Amino acid sequence: MKQIGKYFSMVKFSHTIFALPFALFGFTAAIYRTEFDFAWFTLGAVLICMVTARNAAMGFNRYLDRDIDKANPRTATVREIPSGVIMPSSALAFVIVNLAVFWITTWFINPLCFLLAPIVLFILLFYSYTKRFTSWCHLVLGLGLAIAPFAAWIAVTGEWSFKPLFISLGVLTWVSGFDIIYALQDQEFDKEQGLHSVPARFGKSRALRISEFLHFVTIAALAYGGYVLEMNTFYLIGLGIFSALLIYQHTLVKPNDLSRVNLAFFTTNGLASLIFGITGIADLIFFT
């Protein structure tokens, strides 16, 4: 168990809370807004895909960035590969196993999931390269998590639909926005190493303005997504709390004060995601 705990620490397993509530919302919306019935097998398969896809993406990121993490004073002693807790070859093996489990699981869900699986995996792994050539790497990370509600919908229905599109757009801009806030910590290091990010390119103040704009789009997208899915009172309450927490996180971080970045990044966003998921699912169950 201790060895397993090291790998969970490497991939920050607790951060699964960011995307999982949206995936479960997409799963539930597909059931209550279509003619398809609930199936425990499909739910279990979706959960396996969520966990293994994220494990693969984060594990690959840590493997690919091991030299960067070793050079960064913020990460050199706390991340498992540069600190010697996990060997690079072991991390890569962990990634391959999770990729295999993900793709095999999609075979048992439906043909469309299996066919789309390589595209999903490409996006998730490709993100780790983007900071090497584009300042908009945060949007690629957002896209990786935005797949969750869309994929869960397809897992239930086996069909392509645009109904969850605006929920996914909300996730994309939400994740991109808070990742920009998190990247403020490495602005100087990224510039010195020739790495790309919004803070490294535009500076802290403008990066925060860009993050605020993305989160404005998030609120608008989730509001319209709720309209498309014919959501009701609980959803609106959840969206209101979610929006308030997004606004609150922008009061925590200032260009000259990054001491509360972790509070803004993990605690606030984790709580926002959890509340949105619970209220959205409750709305679908009790107002349908």
User: Which pLDDT score is estimated for 1?
Assistant: 60
User: Which pLDDT score is estimated for 2?
Assistant: 63
User: Which pLDDT score is estimated for 262?
Assistant: 83
Which residues, given as ranges, of the chain have pLDDT below 70? 1-2
Q: Where residue 61 sits, what CATH number does that domain have?
A: 1.10.357.140
What's the distance, CA 177 to chain centroid?
Answer: 11
Q: Which two tokens stand for residue 70?
A: 């070793």
Q: Which two tokens stand for residue 12?
A: 């920050």
User: Which pLDDT score is estimated for 71?
Assistant: 95
Its domain, for residue 207, covers: 2-286
Rg (CA), the chain: 19
Total number of residues shown for the chain: 288
Number of folded domains in the chain? 1
